[in-house]
Amino acid sequence: MPADPLHRAAKPQRSTTSPPPSGSGASAIEVRRSARRRRTVSAYREGDRTVVLIPARMSEAEEQRWVTVMLDKLAAQESKRVLGDTELSERAERLSAQYFEGRARPSSIRWVTNQNTRWGSCTPSEGSIRLSHRLQGMPEYVVDYVLLHELAHLLVPGHGPRFWRLLEAYPRTERARGYLEGVVAADRLPRMPATGDE
């Protein structure tokens, strides 16, 4: 959600900063309460911080609920942006530095439209990584997981214990795998035939 310049400039009545819920993508959440704000809640990213603007009268429970709602909304908006190949390369570089000490260095990363049964693929001998276009629009943590999975193949070609130990460093591995499994399962569900009254 874009920041409202009027609220940004207004002096908050109370501001608190806390660590984010696991996997929110931000390093901290700052809640700013304002007596001038009556009903609306908004949020925006400011570097690696998420700022949530709420009315001063809200209870702590309402604050927690709205922080969760706004984090989900921001994540949904961000996941709709399609990363270009250059952005994928930059993201892979950051992920490699964060989780693999920068040791995984692909020569190329790109989106492809010919992978319908795999989320990604890697050719370690060439250092090339390809991600299925079907990932576009999925949550960032899912794309990050697939990128990390393929980056790990640059270090360990197979799927043995060493490979999975590398991926254990990423805290959202299980959640991302569950998400992808859910997508696959949903694709296998029988489609309801269209009726004439739709």
Rg of the chain taking only CA atoms, in angstroms: 20
Report in angstroms the alpha-carbon separations of 11 from 34, 53, 123, 147.
Answer: 7, 11, 54, 41
- Residue of higher predicted confidence among 177 and 28: 177
All residues at 6 or more sequence positions from 34 whose CB lies less than 8 Å from its CB, including other chains: 7, 10, 12, 13, 53, 54, 55, 56
Listed in order, strand segments (DSSP E) in the chain are 14-18, 28-34, 42-46, 49-55, 108-112, 120-123, 128-132
pLDDT digits (tens, 9 = 90+) for 34-90: 888 888 898 887 766 888 999 999 999 999 999 988 888 887 776 665 677 788 899
pLDDT digits (tens, 9 = 90+) for 137-195: 888 889 999 999 999 999 998 899 999 999 999 999 999 999 999 988 887 777 655 54
Report in angstroms the alpha-carbon separations of 163 from 4, 90, 166, 177.
Answer: 45, 23, 5, 15
Q: Which pLDDT band holds residue 25 (cuts at 50, 70, 90)?
A: very low
| Global confidence as pTM | 0.57
